[in-house]
Amino acid sequence: MIGVIDYGAGNLGSVMNALRRLNVPARFARGPEDMRDFEKIIFPGDGHFATAMASLERSGYASAIKEWMQADKPFLGICIGLQLLFDASEEAPPVDGVVASGLSVVSGTVRRFPGRKVPQIGWNNTKARPSSRLFKGLPDNSFFYYIHSFYAYPDDDAIVAAEADYYLTYCSAVERGALCAVQFHPEKSGATGLKLLENWTL
């Protein structure tokens, strides 16, 4: 059974619909204590970095997700679910000298695109690395649906599973052990996105 974390963000229905199309058993987690009942976890969503992180802290999901990661259990982050894995984001500038931190399960930061046309909205080709499990069986430079103004910049290039180009070449997916996360929305990316989700569920 797959658990989908609901902390008040959007796109949760789209994720659940995609899993139904794949005939994969899934339900929303009722709270952080409910996570122990699942074999795999999906952490989707959108929104502001600091606001989303504050919601995770209030709900108790922040510590539960960290414990899940420490146990190296299967995890898929989507959009803000990728960015919150990092140490900090330029979307959350210092307030009174204090930087809003992320979950810090992936070393690195989240940065704003340098160009003026943000957010990036729409389809973009995504270049997967040959070793990627998520992109197995997908054509080179497959297109996925993106909507974001900030991009992940991991300290360790070895965890980068795929890249895309928008003003610069940036990390659009990471893989490390049982941890996977993507910047794009596979649940909104048609047959290609469904194939990627299927790869992760296997």
Handedness of CA 16, 113, 133, 122 (dihedral sign): positive
Of 39, 79, 163, 180, the catalytic one is 79
The answer to whether residue 171 is catalytic is: no
Give all strands (DSSP E) within the chain, no chain letters. 2-4, 26-28, 40-43, 75-78, 88-89, 108-112, 120-128, 142-148, 150-154, 160-166, 168-176, 179-182
Please identify which of the residues 148, 175, 180, 187 carries the catalytic annotation.
Answer: 187
Q: Is 187 tagged catalytic?
A: yes
CA distances from 90 to 58, 104, 121, 152, 163 (A): 22, 15, 19, 10, 20
Q: Is 163 one of the annotated active-site residues of the chain?
A: no
**Active-site residue among 91, 171, 180, 185?**
185
Q: Crossing angle of helices 49-59/61-70, nearest 10°?
A: 90
Q: Which residues are catalytic?
A: 79, 185, 187
